[in-house]
Amino acid sequence: MLDKIDKKLLRLLQNDSSLSLNSLAESVNLTSTPCWKRLKRLEDDGYIRGRVTLLDGEKLGLGLTVIVMIKTQHHNSEWYEQFVSFVSQLPEVLMFYRMAGEYDYLMQVEVSDMKSYDFFYKKLVNGVHGLIDVTSSFAMEKIKYTTVLPIPD
């Protein structure tokens, strides 16, 4: 169970994972050793899955965000494992979900331009058999993007 200090540490780290242990400890009114023990427990318990640096995709030439929705005719476990394995290896796929509703799968793809997306699309449909509908929507403007989860009080 998370207490107020744990939640505050998680909020602080979500906004800046480069904060030093001393800075974190000071922010939650602890000394460094108890703060470190809390962070270690939060990692061991899976609340903290990793620490990353967020990059600007547009500055890296990845200016096209595509939401890809997929319908398939296969729903057996063997096909699913092969599909998940194949898609998980595609570096252009940032998010990948199995869905309930009209579409079976949804993914967010980041590429440089339409030609790059066409290459990705061909790789996807030629690499996976049994896809009956691959629908792509292209983002015109990124209005909100965050990785910060809303931690309940």
Q: Is the dihedral of CA 118, 121, 127, 133 positive or negative?
A: negative
Residue 22: enclosing H or E segment and its boundaries?
A: helix 21-27
What does the block give as tokens for 24? 């974190």
The whole-number pLDDT of residue 94 equals 97
CB-based contacts of 136, cutoff 8 Å, min separation 6: 66, 67, 68, 69, 117, 121
46-82 pLDDT per residue, tens = 999 999 999 999 999 999 999 999 999 998 999 999 9
**What global pTM score does this model have?**
0.88
pLDDT band, residue 153 (cuts 50/70/90) = confident
